[in-house]
Structure 1
Amino acid sequence: MITRVFARCCTCQNQTRLVLLRTFADSPDTGSSAEKMMPFEEYRKLKKSHKTKARLWGIPFAFGGMTASSIINVMLTPNMFEMTPEEIQPILGMDPLMLAAGTGAVAAGVCFVGGGALYTEVWKLVNKKKHQQIQQRDEDFLRRIEKHRFASFGSFQDDYYGDSIQTLSDYRQWVRQQQKKKEAHKDFIAEKPTT
């Protein structure tokens, strides 16, 4: 509709069509996302460093959770170390010291995961553009993995999600392996006698 309106207004129809095509090609709705997408190597490096930093952020949170759990346990059973073993009452059928160790370990694990999640959320707020680029690259990468993946119902597939892919050459190797699996499966089905 727009091209017809401009074509009627202008004397030189070919020039208006070229201008309109350029305008639509540069618009953000139909713009090429490949230009804005970060390179694969940078994407993998950024994902790896982000994961490492999130784990490192989890360590102080884990120690904090273990310390808080220990303080709470001492507050709940203040005379635990002053009693003889015969006087200590089991808590939930366990020795209070074992319960304290278990709750400390659980608190450390939960706070470790929470610290990593907190780092991720803070990073997303601070680096909105990079996060958007990573999300875009993730979608593209997973779409490509899904397109080339061979899935057989009969057996366990190694590297189904492409976890070992670190570089473009790894990706190409993974695609070749998936193609070989597809061909081998086709050959197997073709050789199978029908009854």
Structure 2
Amino acid sequence: MIIGTFTTSASQSLARVSKTLLSRPLPAYRLSSFHTTTAFRKTASSNSSNEVKLNLDWDGFFKMRRQRRLWERLAALPCAMLGLGAGAAVFASLPINPQQTFMGLDPLIVFSGATMFCGVLGFVIGPSVGRVWYRIGNGEMARAIDAKEAEFFKHVRANRSDPNFSSASNPLPDFYGEKINSLSGYRQWLRKQREHERKGTFKLGSTKRK
């Protein structure tokens, strides 16, 4: 009898404990490992991106900008050669009739000019191809440079002189700031903008007095 009573009491206690545990919410560590790993990777990627942006100061920006321009210039030559070769392959395969002219010109001259045009076109497209290669090769750093460059052009727009002050004797120097390659170059650019504005203001003032 005592054993039966003890067994019944133990069963009731176990049922209450099981009901209590089932009514509680699952702890955070029971979440799916896939979602946890994905969230961790996203956080790590965001932190690394922020670190890249924070570590890119103005000196580093101008350095990376010069490197990007080098990639663009180096890509122009192979693209020009590729365009020249493609043009030569296409136009060399076309039949040439010496008795027929194109707009009064010999077909050989026309095909030669078209081949040279293909080379020039490749040379023009080359810098854009080089910039794409640079972005693929540098990833987060390339995006950080783009963000820093947007901030840089805001400074350029805010500090450049008024184009209305320009004239043949007083041209506006480096409107987009493309020649700025360092902090010292930026300071020199600012001095040129103030000088341009001073000359333009003086000239307009003297015209008004007349």
- Give me the TM-score of the superposition, normalised by structure 1: 0.65
Q: Is the 8 A contact 2:83 2:122 kept in 1?
A: yes
Of residues 144, 148, 158 in structure 2, which corresponds to 1:137? 148
Query: Take 1:149 and 1:37, find their aligned partners in 2: how far apart are those partners?
Result: 27
Alignment length, in residue pairs? 158
Larger CA deviation: 94-103 vs 111-120: 111-120
Name the aligned partner's letter for residue 141 of structure 2.
K
Name the aligned partner's letter for residue 84 of structure 2.
M
Query: Take 2:163 and 2:67, find their aligned partners in 1: how far apart are those partners?
Result: 34
Q: Give the 3-state SS of the residue equivalent to 2:93 in structure 1.
A: helix
Q: Give the 3-state SS of the residue equivalent to 2:162 in structure 1.
A: coil
- Residues 65-112 of structure 1: per-residue CA shift (max 9 Å, x gap): 2222222222212x66xxxxxx43213332122112211111112223
- Residues 24-48 of structure 1: per-residue CA shift (max 9 Å, x gap): xxxx9xxx99962623233223222
119 and 169 in structure 1: CA distance in 2 versus 1, 3 angstrom threshold: closer
34 and 183 in structure 1: CA distance in 2 versus 1, 3 angstrom threshold: farther
Q: Give the 3-state SS of the residue equivalent to 1:89 in structure 2.
A: coil
Q: CA deviation at 1:190?
A: 5.6
Name the aligned partner's letter for residue 173 of structure 1.
Q
Match of 1:24 in 2: none
Greater helix proportion = 2
Of residues 139, 159, 163 in structure 1, which corresponds to 2:174? 159
Name the aligned partner's letter for residue 90 of structure 1.
T
147 and 108 in structure 1: CA distance in 2 versus 1, 3 angstrom threshold: same
33 and 189 in structure 1: CA distance in 2 versus 1, 3 angstrom threshold: farther
Query: Take 1:33 and 1:185, find their aligned partners in 2: how far apart are those partners?
Result: 44
Match of 2:64 in 1: 46
Name the aligned partner's letter for residue 87 of structure 2.
S
Q: CA deviation at 1:174?
A: 1.9
Q: Is the 8 A contact 1:62 1:111 kept in 2?
A: yes
Q: Give the 3-state SS of the residue equivalent to 1:92 in structure 2.
A: coil
Match of 2:6 in 1: none
Match of 2:89 in 1: 71
Name the aligned partner's letter for residue 100 of structure 1.
F
Q: CA deviation at 1:51?
A: 2.0
State the Cα RMSD in Å: 3.1
